[in-house]
Amino acid sequence: MARPTMEDVAARAGVSRALVSLVMRGSPKVSAARRTAVLEAAAELGYSPHAMARSLASRTSHVLGVMVSDLHNPFWAEVVDGLDGHARAAGFELVINTGGRSPSREQQALRSLTSFRPAGIALLGPVVASSAITAAADVPLVLVSRSSRLSIVDTVNDDGRAGSALAVDHLVALGHREIVHIDGGSGSQAAPRRAGYQVAMARHGLTPRVARGEYTEAAGAAAVRSLRSPFTAVLAANDLNAVGVLSALAEAGLRVPEDVSVVGYDNTWLAGLRHIGLTTIDQPREEMGRLAATALISRVRGERTAAARLVVQPTLVVRATTGPPRTQ
């Protein structure tokens, strides 16, 4: 009942174990006849190679580790799609982990991932300390939605400053002046989005107002409830956060966009739902996943040693939650 090993397959096919190894790795130096014999024997036995033994012996791995900070945010599912497609095409497999938006759990997840000695690791929206990242960095590492100064890691980010500016410009063009930003707190990429907002507001001669938030629905709702002085528009931390904002506004009896305009960030499928119809800043999610996979794989193959700083451009998607402010 124990799983068959290469030895078993070799015995059954009447060949040497070395030959089975060659066949399993798809070597061209095997005659067609023997190859089929081996494959048949393997199929009959239900043999499948032991990935760990293989990577232990070969000191290589075809596994890419992926740490997803928050499985509940649809944004990451779409990034993983891009990663998965590209990795698979290049002959790599994904092993996914989750960090639950908590630094300590992320650190555990990272350790767990490295214990598999993957060829490379992608961290999607990590909040863990940069020192913890360095400690794990004896394999190629790529950070998505988090910047880094470390030359040993690659990064894939949208231009968060530009994205926020896009939102502010859109709102100002509609006539808004009282624009609040609910930020992502210490979440990944919250800082550039915040900075972009502040700079854009200043450029328009407006006073920035930042409310502390987080990348969750609950935080968006809470932030709105805590806001005292009046405002006519809010730039939320991300789509999830924006949905919380919408709920809190509705609760308060405020209409969107007549009383308050709302802009999200990410353009996940959530924003596109007809009943949400959220104006938002689009990040090319699948492409970001693809870029991350490409960066990782090129490092793994030793094709590049300099750090890659991949930046994608966000774009504005106007839907139903933004409009001109009410004239007083």
Partner DNA sequence: CTGAAAGCGCTAACAG
Partner DNA sequence: CTGTTAGCGCTTTCAG
Stretch that binds a second copy, among 111-119, 122-130, 149-157, 165-173 (CB under 8 A): 111-119
The Cα–Cα gap between 19 and 27 comes to: 9
Our finding on whether 135 is near a second copy (CB under 8 A) is yes
- Taking CB atoms within 8 Å and a gap of at least 24, the contacts of 3-7 are 3/47, 3/50, 4/45, 4/46, 4/47, 5/47, 5/50, 6/47, 6/49
Is residue 56 close enough to count as binding DNA by CB under 7 A? yes
Q: Pairing between strand 279-282 and 315-317? A: antiparallel
Q: State which of residues 19, 78, 171, 237 lies at the interface with a second copy (CB under 8 A).
A: 78
Size of the chain in residues: 328
Binding-site member from 5, 8, 17, 55 for a second copy (CB under 8 A): 55
89, 202, 252, 273: which one contacts a second copy (CB under 8 A)? 273
Cα–Cα dist 122/140, whole Å: 9
The least CB distance from residue 22 to DNA, in Å, is 7
Quick one: tokens of 222? 């809470």
Asked whether position 308 contacts a second copy by CB under 8 A, the answer is no
44 binding DNA? (CB under 7 A): no
Query: Which of 17, 30, 35, 74 touches a second copy (CB under 8 A)?
Result: 74
- For 235-265, give the DSSP string: E-SSHHHHHHHHHHHHHTT--TTTT-EEEEE
Residue 25 site contact among a second copy, DNA, none (CB < 5 to 8 Å, cut-off depends on kind): DNA
Residues at the interface with DNA (CB under 7 A): 2-3, 5-7, 15-19, 21-22, 24-25, 29-31, 33-34, 47, 49-50, 53-54, 56-60
